[in-house]
A = this chain, B = another copy of it.
Amino acid sequence: MRLLNKDLRLQDVTLIYVILLAALVVLLVAPYHASSPFSSFPTLSPSPDGSSRPSLSYHVPLDPAGQLELCWNISYSKQEVYMELRVKELPYGLLLGMSDRGEPTNADLVLLWNDGHKSYFGDAWSDDEGRVTLDSQQDYELLDARNTPEGFSVLFRRSFSTCDPHDYIIEEGTVHLIYSILDQPIRSLHQLNVSRLHPGVQRILLLRPDTPNPSLPQDVRSLEVLAPNVVIPDQETTYWCYMYQLPPNMPKNHIVMYEAVVSSGNEAMVHHMEVFECSPRMDFVPEYSGSCDSKMKPAKLNACRHVLAAWALGAEPFYYPSDAGLPLGGEGSSRFLRLEVHYHNPLHISGRRDSSGIRLWFTPSLRRFDAGIMELGLVYTPVMAIPPQQHSFQLTGYCTAECTHTALPPEGIHIFASQLHTHLAGQSVRTVLVRGGKEVEVVQEDKHFSTHYQIIRILRKMVTVLPGDVLLTKCTYNTEDRVKVTVGGFGIMEEMCVNYVHYYPRTQLELCKSHVDQDYLQRFFSIINRFHGGEGCSCSQTTVEDQFSSVIWDSFSARVLDSLYTTSLISMHCNQSTAELFPGSWEKQKIPEVLAELQPSMRACEPSQAGPQNRPTEVQPQHSG
């Protein structure tokens, strides 16, 4: 049987099995959407278990109306992604793209389109202004296109990296997908402008760890932290807060897994959810179910900030390593949990009810180790600032050898998950382990980080941190749209650079962060004002924010501030969970030296790396007899 006018070279066993199974029972069913040029394609019948979909491991709704869904699988051995787009109605084609931050320009595109007569599939790109050009090298390979009982499905694959300079490189971390359904015939791709299509944007983690999940213990029990019967407000963005109480005197258990519970039909509107534990020092927190931004929200809820669980659209269940669990209940913990649900309702649908939340799976049979969460990066302080008009300005937070030497056990700790955090200007975050002056391992890196997509990510490989190791957390910011300096702080227009690392065995080290030494910063203000003809006022009554605001921010002052941050002395916060510093001297410390940086494992591209073909594939319905 020929699926299409191309050889099927897919070797993934599961996929082949399911596709062959489906193909064997394929029937010449009447077109589902008689009006579409794609209606002449064969229809896939439901398979015996009632599902007509091949078993792709991951899926995420793309649009808020739930018209378009992406399913995918990863092959690390072949460095390839298999993707299937499922659409309920397909008028004249569809577009999926990947770009640096979800913009319609400079995007890597895969297109299925009809020109009024024929249908095509191809690899293309959009330029600085959104204009579309076919790639000279076609790197998306079409595997199947057909009707299904639910609509239309197109299956294709692509290598992580392709050697085509117009192609996006698929790496770990956030991928900004753009998508659009084409409702007009596309006579020529040259007429297509992605910017004018106003494509939707969806952020996902395309690459996932390929390690199997540990099995759950026999005596595992679950507890659902759900906000019951919420009427989703008919506004684009709502953060819903709901207070949940654990049973009184609950003994210590270990959370071993948690997963999202999303009310059926709301899959595209529930964007992300987090469960926070309140401060154990508060013996009472009032009940609440309402907007987190409401004036009616009790102030005490602000003391519920310790992350227990976090999920975002498309995330899989979160499993703890087999010998560790996160304490729930027992001494030193709080009975009060705050659930936060981010509803994304750009279509302003009103009256929709929702009871989504997070299901915690826990066991009373404590595992060998408690898991813990440690904060790496920069202290929240205005002394760490980003000049305006910067394309990419970097700030680095240090966890020094002195701190890990003081606070970690001799066997070290194992980081198994990580949650990156910046505010709006953050563009990328990278935490790297440095041992003996050399970068040895990346803990987590996201080159396309967005403050709108902060989920706890399981690492593909656990990272062991030994006493004396250094952890560098580097954040890159873009302030091209800002005219004023951005200082560190809690406000959304201020910035942070944080990585919450999840690790075991739990230690007393709660945070390991740094900031520039204040005296050196004062010397910076003094010389930079003098360079610009001022007097270098060092009037100590002004605040650091005012001092930063009075600097003339040209490229020289921005680069000198960068030089100061990367060469001067630092102040360390090496804090115990009691919020006290570990014993030691933490002021005016030297910045850890990095003599050798990790080089990405890359090979040069062959000069004429022509793909399987360099023209779009004509897509024809294949009728099997």
User: Interface of A with B (CB < 8 Å)?
Assistant: 76-79, 159-163, 165, 169, 171, 523, 526-528, 530-531, 536, 554-556, 559-560, 562-564, 566-568, 599-608
Contact = CB atoms under 8 A, between A and B. Distances in A.
Contacts of A530: 526-527, 530, 536
15 contacts: A79-B604, A79-B606, A79-B607, A159-B603, A160-B604, A161-B603, A171-B604, A526-B531, A527-B530, A556-B563, A559-B560, A559-B566, A601-B604, A602-B605, A603-B603
Contact of A560 (B77, B554, B563): B563
A563 B160 CA distance: 37
Contact of A162 (B77, B536, B603): B603
A535 to B, nearest CB: 12
A200 B559 CA distance: 43
Given A159-B603, A527-B527, A556-B568, 13 more contacts: A77-B607, A77-B608, A160-B604, A161-B602, A163-B601, A530-B530, A554-B567, A559-B563, A602-B602, A602-B603, A602-B604, A602-B605, A603-B603
Contact of A165 (B526, B599, B606): B599
A137 to B, nearest CB: 12
Contacts of A559: 559-560, 562-563, 566-567
Going nearest first, the 7 A-B pairs with the smallest beta carbon separation are A559-B563, A602-B602, A527-B527, A555-B567, A601-B605, A556-B567, A161-B604
A605 B162 CA distance: 11
Contacts of A568: 556
A530 B78 CA distance: 58
Contacts of A560: 559-560, 563
A556 to B, nearest CB: 4
A145 to B, nearest CB: 28
List the number of copies, as a whole number: 2
A581 B160 CA distance: 52
A159 B601 CA distance: 15
B603 A605 contact: yes
Contacts of A562: 559, 563
Given A556-B568, A567-B556, A600 B607 contact: no
Contacts of A608: 77
Nearest to A556: B567
A163 B568 CA distance: 37
Nearest to A564: B556
B165 A601 contact: yes
Contacts of A160: 604
Contacts of A566: 555, 559
Nearest to A528: B527
A570 to B, nearest CB: 13
A562 to B, nearest CB: 8
A390 to B, nearest CB: 13
Contacts of A165: 599, 601
Nearest to A159: B603
Given A554-B567, A568-B556, A163 B603 contact: yes
B76 A607 contact: yes
Contacts of A567: 554-556, 559
A191 B255 CA distance: 52
